[in-house]
Homo-oligomer: A and B are copies of this chain.
Amino acid sequence: MQQLIFTNEVALALTQVINGKQYNRVFVLVDENTAREVLPLVKCEAIADACTITIPAGDTHKTLDTLSHVWQQLQEGGATRHSLLINLGGGVVTDLGGMAAATFKRGIDFVNCPTTLLSAVDAAVGGKTGINFGGFKNELGVFQEAQAVVISTKFFATLPAAELRSGYAEMLKHGMLESHAEFSRLLNFNVADASLDELLALLETSVKVKQRIVEQDPHEKGLRRALNLGHTVGHAFESMALHRGNPIPHGYAVAWGLVAETVLSHMKLKFASSDLQALAVFVRDNYGAFHITCDDYPLLLDYMHHDKKSVSGEINCSLLRACGDVETGVTVTDDDMSAALDIYRDLLGI
């Protein structure tokens, strides 16, 4: 099982992971940003002799060329099956580095050390690795869990507020999947002026929700689809924003998607109206709204029908009967979805 370490003593945690096994060589993968901002914060004896591999920052570099560069650096650095790769960065670094490690000599150990809230709560845990290919996101990759994930909020101090909020949307999702208590706890947290210590505690619960779901369904055959809550509508919003030439952060799309899909949950599964209202207020206050009119519905519905998760072209959602009580694979008609989008606009004041 993947070891999860929540700490602000990252250098110490990495030292323990490295010393726990006899690695003959240690490599650290960073992007240009984390090389500059984060690597100096975790310098310690255990990685003093590590070979650093640097890749360009950003999703446009999550490519086969970059992966090939990492493989080459591992090879030239003399990596063997007894070597370790530490991925120090956001989702691109942990996804691509995880794939590099999982495929080098049929698999070497790797440790994820996420440096953004979104990667801490999402990409770094759960064993999904990958790169984009031929214009499709995460088209190539494998399921392979990291040896350990070291999660700290100390790197988030310098993150833009929008990046914190983006990650927080995935935490909201986990909270809703977990329990009403967790959902309430998250709505009461002040994201706008976040205490990083409090956030670390919230993050620990949140990541463990995901880990528990992933453990029961590592290869996404069923239950793991619960984690798609908010994402059917969220992805459609993201695609539309891209189409408009005005991309939105993934987490914002998820926050807005959560509102729309909670409306659906209320309509179809009797999800409590008071919780829906509370969610909508939180999202409106912290994320604003994604602006749509009914003229946008046909294109949005089209995106949803072509979603990866769609089976035989139907719109498919994971919905909630209540916080902590999910139903995956719910088929949603175009009429239901349009009605839900109407109410989404009302709730967010569009």
**Nearest chain-B residue to A64 (Cβ)?**
B68
**Contact B219 A141, beta carbon cutoff 8 Å:** no
Q: Does A71 contact B (CB under 8 A)?
A: yes
Please determine whether B72 and A103 come into contact, CB atoms closer than 8 angstroms.
no
Pick from A126-134, A179-187, A333-341 the stretch touching chain B: A126-134
**Contact B103 A103, beta carbon cutoff 8 Å:** yes
Q: Please encode chain A, from 86 to 126, with 1 for each CB lying within 8 Å of some chain B CB and 0 for all others.
A: 00000000000001001111110000000000000000000
Q: Decide if the interface of chain A is mainly helix, strand, loop or mixed.
A: mixed
In order of increasing CB-CB distance, the 3 nearest A-B pairs are A106-B141, A75-B134, A103-B140
Does A143 make an interface contact (CB < 8 A)?
A: yes
Q: Which residues of A contact B (CB under 8 A)?
A: 64, 68, 71-72, 75-76, 99, 102-107, 128-130, 133-134, 136, 138-143, 219-220
Residues of chain B lying within 8 A (CB to CB) of residue A128: 106
Taking each of A104, A140, A219, which has the highest tally of chain B beta carbons within 10 Å of its own beta carbon? Answer: A140
State whether A102 and B68 are in contact (beta carbons under 8 Å apart), knowing that A136-B75, A219-B107 are contacts in the complex: no
Tell whether, in the assembled complex, residue A102 and residue B142 are in contact, meaning their CB atoms are under 8 Å apart.
yes
Which residues of chain B are within 8 angstroms of A72 by Cβ–Cβ distance?
Answer: 134
Copies held by the complex: 2
Instruction: State whether A130 and B142 are in contact (beta carbons under 8 Å apart), knowing that A75-B136, A136-B75 are contacts in the complex.
Output: no
User: Which of B75, B99, B105, B139 lies in contact with A104, CB distance below 8 A?
Assistant: B139
Whether the Cβ atoms of A133 and B75 lie closer than 8 Å is yes
The reply to whether A133 and B102 contact each other, CB–CB distance below 8 Å, is no
Query: Roughly how many angstroms separate A136 CA and B106 CA in the complex, as a whole number?
Result: 13
Closest to A76 in B: B134
Taking a contact as CB atoms under 8 Å apart, the answer to whether A140 and B107 are in contact is no
Evaluate contact between B64 and A143: CB separation under 8 angstroms. Answer: no
Chain B hits for A220, CB < 8 A: 106
B106–A143 CB distance below 8 A: yes
Contacts of A107 in B (CB 8 A): 142-143, 219
Residues of B contacting A141 in the complex (Cβ-Cβ under 8 angstroms): 103, 105-106
Chain B residue contacts of A143, Cβ below 8 A: 106-107
- 11 A–B contacts from the bound complex (CB under 8 Å): A64-B68, A71-B140, A75-B133, A75-B134, A75-B139, A76-B134, A103-B140, A104-B139, A104-B140, A106-B138, A107-B143
Q: How far is the CA of A287 from the CA of B139 in the complex (A)?
A: 46
Query: Can you name the residue of chain B whose Cβ is closest to the Cβ of A131?
Result: B103
Shortest distance from the beta carbon of A138 to any chain B beta carbon, whole Å: 8
Cα–Cα distance between A143 and B106 once the two chains are bound (Å): 6
Across-interface contacts of A136 in B (CB, < 8 A): 75
* A142 contacts B106, C-beta separation under 8 Å: yes
